[in-house]
Amino acid sequence: MHIANPIYDVVFKYMLEDNRVAKLFLSAIIGEDIAELEFSAQERLVEIPNTDRGNVPLTVCRIDFSAKIKTGKGYKTVIIELQKAKYLTDLMRFRRYLGLHYQSADNTFDGRQEKARQIYCIYFLYYGMDLPARPVLKVNYKVEDAYTGDEFPASGEFVSGLHHLSWIVQIRQLKKRRRNDLEKILSIFDQSTLADNTKHILDVDDEIYPEEYRQIIRRLRKAMEDPGKRREMELEDDILRELQDKERQIEDRENMIVEMGKTIADKDRAIANKDQTIANKDQTIANKDQTIAELKKELANLRKPEL
């Protein structure tokens, strides 16, 4: 079956705008039962100048959810922050955006006093980093006695309010990994299943997906059949190519500056060496002059008549 490629931001966002699909998808990642989910997409427009079509708006999607999760003791409400990145430079963006969540008064709830909601972070990384080569990594905190090493349950408002759980999905590690339901679901990001040269379409075997998750596939199929979404993917391709061209130009200029700096440093060293050579010659001449002066003095002393 052909589906739209969710590596594209426009498709990724479209997939998660369906509340049922988003609940299924996020529940599978965090391993908890999401009863209610409220979607909030944060977007930023950036003007890219000097293109063939004039300034082009680049939309960066930052997707947040307020989730009501069913637990053994009732319900809890958390903030789910979801980001997807293709470049290493996005790491600092992750940090800044997470900081905004911790500061926001919207991410609290009222009881007898204002309390912080727990934050869950989900990152989709397309590039390689210094991480274990696994499709999905969970980063959890733990509470332990610093002296004995005894571990305690990581619960309570103080711990959950100041620490967050993270899930890291490494898209390049998804290739042919289908060990459990989650990896089967995430195989919708496996780029080895590309169906055409445009990279817009994936060819997936819908039979591998558990029945309850097949509506995710149907949602991506619907995106693939939407001409508007196809045009948006093409625009995203154009923008990314322009960004990559600009990054290459910047890199070339930086390399040129580095080479110029090396050339200048080499010339400075050569001048310094010449100056040192001249200084050495001057010192040699000064030493010779001193020797001649001493010899003349000694000769003059020898020529004095004896009394």
For the chain, the domains span 2-225
Question: 249-296 pLDDT, tens per residue?
Answer: 777 788 888 888 888 888 888 898 898 889 888 888 888 888 888 888
Residue linked to tokens 């990054």: 247
In angstroms, the CA 26 to CA 16 distance is 9
Q: What is the pTM of this model?
A: 0.67
Asked if 117 and 108 touch (Cβ cutoff 8 Å), the reply is yes
Residue type, 198: T
143 and 159 Cβ atoms separated by less than 8 Å: yes
Under 8 Å between Cβ of 182 and 168 = no
Q: Residue 279 — left, alpha, or beta (φ > 0 → left; ψ -120 to 50 → alpha)?
A: alpha
* Mean pLDDT confidence for 75-79: 90
Of 32-41, 158-167, 174-183, the range with the lowest mean pLDDT is 158-167
Cα(19)–Cα(36) distance, integer angstroms: 9
> Which token pair is 23?
């609940």
Give the range among 170-174, 181-185, 237-241 with minimum mean pLDDT: 237-241
